[in-house]
Chains A and B, each alone.
Chain A
Amino acid sequence: MIAQAIGGNLDYAVMLGYFVAVLGFGLYFGRYTKTTKDFFFGGQRFSWWLIAFSCIATVVGSYSFIKYSAAGFRYGISSTQSYLNDWFWMPILVLVWLPIVYYNKITSVPEYLESRFDRKTRVAATIIILFYIVGYIGINLVTLGRTLQTLLGWRIMTGAAVTAVAVALYVYAGGQTAVIMTDLVQGLILLIAGLGLFAGAIYHFGGFGEFWSLLPRAHKYAFSDFSSPPDFSFIGIYVQDGLANTGALMLMHQGFIMRFLSLKSVKDSRRMVVCWILVLAPLAAIATSCGGWIAKALVNNGELVTEPGDSFVKAANFLCAPGVFGFVLAALTAALMSTADSLINAVSAIFVNDIWKPYVKPASTDRHYLLVARITSLCAAGFGLVLVPIFMDKTLYSAHSMFTAAVTPPVVIAIFLGITWKRYTPAAAFVTIVGGAILISLSFVWPDALVGPFDFGMGPDSYDFMRALFGLLAAGALGVSVTLFTKPKPEEKIRGLVAGTQLDAMRRFKGAEPNRRPGEKVRLRVKIDRNLSGQNVVTLPQSALDKMAAEPGDLLYASHIRWWYGGLRSVHVKAGAPIESEDADLVRISPEDAASAHFTEGQQVVVEKIM
């Protein structure tokens, strides 16, 4: 353990300042949250680049810098392979899953499972997913507590409590909007800190060639060996991370579903995913792993002595000037907060949408559900905090990690088959989730018999990874075989919920035939019109409709002319009948819509057609 030997007062002041700034930033955005739609989905108004940055901040967890730098120190650039598996899931995400959840206005994964299958599948998934997320919050808090203990000498519980309170407060106040806006800042900070550290190291060594020459040859491969070592083999990481975890991230992670639903349109989701997976994820892979590579080069150059687990912090401390190191510590904190906030908001969404609304108090006001959502956010952080002393016991911590590895494959398989295969039946989905989880649980009792056949000769040390392969195959086999002997849901009842019927979901979303003709954006001036009150309709000149290739009844999106607001000041509306007036650049909008978008009379806005 490094304890307080690293960093100085200036570093800690920078870190504290950052902590307070993020808290204030998050609280500020509480003013944009007035409904449950705002609280869970940020009003579905945000631009692709904002969501891309916030997604990367959520992906990079508190443990990422420590864990991947340790792997980078031991194994070299193959430490990045966990971040480079996402692209292969992208077609399923943007062409199937996202249109289905967005256009059906699905608010949670369990809700989809009930629509596609039945209620008992929803209940099973709700229990599993809630347990998974709350436990995950606890693990994140423990990890941060341990990191702060290493850096500041605090007790684990103290660090965890301070962070939990800060995150819970801004999620309580601002919901998804606060999560997205703070994650934008935190995503930038952690990328700048990690990549800045890498650039500083290259400068220190005198160039990339000099740095590269200090790494052993075995550290210069993109992938580790196919089936060795058992705890870092390619196949182990691929099945556990590339298939099970990435599948869970794309299909089952409620925090990401909510982030996707915060986008202003499905079209924006395409740009967002490309930016996230093809640009930001590789940068994040370098940012989180480079500490280990740099430490290895420093060790080989005789400039540093370190263990793999300390490599990131020691390399950063070696290279950074006072104050700059504090910025790097802030990035570590950012990584934790940006993951925990998404999880807390996700627990709140599942509790309200899948438990409170259907079972406890149906048909209540939105204001009531918003209050419940806010209270649930505080409780989720509290539950996570309660789990900290339990997870501080390493055995239970490992047990939960194993449990999460056990539950993700069955739910991922159920969603995957559900969206791609019309024939997949409700009975099969239930058996996939429950039976799959039971089979994987049994693999802890008889690991050699159940996981052993899939270990590629690596032995018991590889079981934590290879259990994912067993889980995927077992759940998949159950799902397929039960489907063959049971009756599928009638096709008309799954229209819009399965591949091949996405256009039906679009029609349902719009309430009419979607207009997919390409058009342009137009710039207009706002005219607040009380006659439109309560209609969610705008009226525009015919010339503007023509330029957008829009017709009356089409869905439009009006936003502030400054792109860098990222959709924060915007609103979705319907196009009304065209108006002929002296002012050809006016858009008439209701007072409620103008207030929702924070538009003022005479202000210029950009209007575009969504569908």
Chain B
Amino acid sequence: MEMLRVWPIVCEFGIGAILCFVGIWCGLHGGYLNLKNADDRRLLFILIGGYFFLLGIMCIFTFLSPNWANGGSL
């Protein structure tokens, strides 16, 4: 595995996780983000889901896409 390709993902999604954690904690602290409320639960799910969705896309375009065969085999 080329670590020079892995470090950007670790860096972006590592610091990104800290930022997301700070935001979610600040929302939960004081009750503004209320997990008893369906809308708020959905928002939390979207926040976490969006993070992993982007992580998945970045992994595909780091580890898979450069190896995709040419032309018709796609």
Interface of A with B (CB < 8 Å)?
77, 84-85, 87-96, 99, 207-210, 212-213, 217, 220-226, 234-235, 238, 242-243, 267, 270, 274, 277-278, 419-420, 499-503, 506, 516, 518
Instruction: Tell me the nearest residue of chain B to A505, going by C-beta.
Output: B32
B64 to chain A, nearest CB (A): 10
Those of B44-74 within 8 Å (CB) of chain A:
46-47, 50-51, 53-54, 57-58, 61-62, 65-66, 68-74
Q: Are B50 and A90 in contact (CB under 8 A)?
A: yes
Q: Are B11 and A212 in contact (CB under 8 A)?
A: no
Task: Please give, as numbers and ranges, the residues of chain A lying within 8 Å of B62 by CB-CB distance.
Answer: 221-223
B43 to chain A, nearest CB (A): 6
B34 to chain A, nearest CB (A): 7
B25 to chain A, nearest CB (A): 8
Q: Are A88 and B70 in contact (CB under 8 A)?
A: no
Q: Are B24 and A95 in contact (CB under 8 A)?
A: yes
Give Cα A501 to B15, complex, Å. 25
11 additional A-B residue pairs with CB within 8 Å, beyond A223-B5, A242-B12: A90-B23, A90-B47, A91-B24, A92-B23, A96-B27, A212-B65, A220-B65, A220-B66, A278-B53, A499-B30, A518-B39
Task: Please give, as numbers and ranges, the residues of chain A lying within 8 Å of B34 by CB-CB distance.
Answer: 516
A49 to chain B, nearest CB (A): 16
> Is B4 located at the chain interface by the 8 A CB criterion?
yes
Instruction: Tell me the nearest residue of chain A to B13, going by C-beta.
Output: A88
Q: Are B5 and A92 in contact (CB under 8 A)?
A: no
Instruction: Tell me the nearest residue of chain A to B36, going by C-beta.
Output: A516
B67 to chain A, nearest CB (A): 9
B20 to chain A, nearest CB (A): 5
Known contacts A87-B54, A242-B12, A503-B30: A92-B19 contact under CB 8 Å: yes
Interface on chain A toward B: helix, strand, loop, or mixed SS?
A: helix
Known contacts A84-B54, A209-B73, A226-B7: A91-B19 contact under CB 8 Å: yes
Instruction: Tell me the nearest residue of chain A to B21, going by C-beta.
Output: A91
Q: Are A274 and B50 in contact (CB under 8 A)?
A: yes
B35 to chain A, nearest CB (A): 12
Q: Are B26 and A92 in contact (CB under 8 A)?
A: yes
Q: Are B16 and A501 in contact (CB under 8 A)?
A: no
Q: Which of B9, B15, B17, B69 contacts A223 (CB 8 A)?
A: B9
> What are 5 inter-chain pairs, A to B, with CB distance below 8 A?
A90-B47, A209-B74, A235-B11, A501-B30, A516-B34
Q: Are B27 and A87 in contact (CB under 8 A)?
A: no
Q: Are B4 and A278 in contact (CB under 8 A)?
A: no
Known contacts A84-B54, A223-B5, A518-B37: A420-B22 contact under CB 8 Å: yes
Instruction: Tell me the nearest residue of chain A to B23, going by C-beta.
Output: A91
Task: Please give, as numbers and ranges, the residues of chain B lying within 8 Å of A235 by CB-CB distance.
Answer: 8, 11
Instruction: Tell me the nearest residue of chain B to A225, going by C-beta.
Output: B4
Q: Are B74 and A85 in contact (CB under 8 A)?
A: no
Instruction: Tell me the nearest residue of chain A to B25, going by C-beta.
Output: A499
Q: Which of B32, B54, B74 contacts A208 (CB 8 A)?
A: B74
Q: Are A278 and B50 in contact (CB under 8 A)?
A: yes
Total inter-chain residue pairs, C-beta < 8 Å: 135
Known contacts A84-B54, A212-B70, A278-B53: A500-B8 contact under CB 8 Å: no
Known contacts A278-B50, A420-B22: A95-B32 contact under CB 8 Å: yes
Give Cα A208 to B39, complex, Å. 39
Give Cα A242 to B69, complex, Å. 32
Q: Which of A88, A220, A267 contacts B16 (CB 8 A)?
A: A88
Instruction: Tell me the nearest residue of chain A to B24, going by C-beta.
Output: A91
Q: Which of B17, B54, B61, B72 contacts A221 (CB 8 A)?
A: B61
The 8 closest A-B pairs by CB, nearest first: A91-B23, A95-B27, A213-B70, A88-B16, A499-B26, A500-B30, A222-B61, A209-B74
Give Cα A235 to B9, complex, Å. 11
Q: Which of B23, B50, B66 contacts A93 (CB 8 A)?
A: B23
Give Cα A225 to B62, complex, Å. 11
Give Cα A242 to B16, complex, Å. 10
Give Cα A369 to B31, complex, Å. 38
Task: Please give, as numbers and ranges, the residues of chain B lying within 8 Å of A77 by CB-CB distance.
Answer: 61
Give Cα A210 to B71, complex, Å. 5
Give Cα A84 to B13, complex, Å. 11
A338 to chain B, nearest CB (A): 25
Q: Are A503 and B31 in contact (CB under 8 A)?
A: yes
Q: Which of B8, B30, B65, B68 contacts A234 (CB 8 A)?
A: B8
Give Cα A385 to B25, complex, Å. 45
B10 to chain A, nearest CB (A): 9
Give Cα A89 to B54, complex, Å. 13
Give Cα A77 to B16, complex, Å. 21
Q: Are B22 and A91 in contact (CB under 8 A)?
A: yes
Give Cα A77 to B5, complex, Å. 14
Task: Please give, as numbers and ranges, the residues of chain A lying within 8 Å of B69 by CB-CB distance.
Answer: 209
Task: Please give, as numbers and ranges, the residues of chain A lying within 8 Å of B16 by CB-CB distance.
Answer: 85, 87-88
Give Cα A226 to B12, complex, Å. 11
Task: Please give, as numbers and ranges, the residues of chain B lying within 8 Å of A87 by CB-CB distance.
Answer: 16, 50-51, 54
Give Cα A419 to B38, complex, Å. 26
Give Cα A234 to B26, complex, Å. 29
Task: Please give, as numbers and ranges, the residues of chain A lying within 8 Å of B39 by CB-CB distance.
Answer: 267, 518
Give Cα A501 to B38, complex, Å. 21
Task: Please give, as numbers and ranges, the residues of chain A lying within 8 Å of B57 by CB-CB distance.
Answer: 222
Task: Please give, as numbers and ranges, the residues of chain B lying within 8 Å of A217 by CB-CB distance.
Answer: 66
A35 to chain B, nearest CB (A): 30
Task: Please give, as numbers and ranges, the residues of chain B lying within 8 Å of A85 by CB-CB distance.
Answer: 12, 16
Task: Please give, as numbers and ranges, the residues of chain B lying within 8 Å of A270 by CB-CB distance.
Answer: 43
Task: Please give, as numbers and ranges, the residues of chain A lying within 8 Å of B27 by CB-CB distance.
Answer: 91, 95-96, 499, 502
Instruction: Tell me the nearest residue of chain B to A234, going by C-beta.
Output: B8
Instruction: Tell me the nearest residue of chain B to A242, going by C-beta.
Output: B12
Q: Are A503 and B32 in contact (CB under 8 A)?
A: yes
Instruction: Tell me the nearest residue of chain A to B16, going by C-beta.
Output: A88
Q: Are A223 and B71 in contact (CB under 8 A)?
A: no
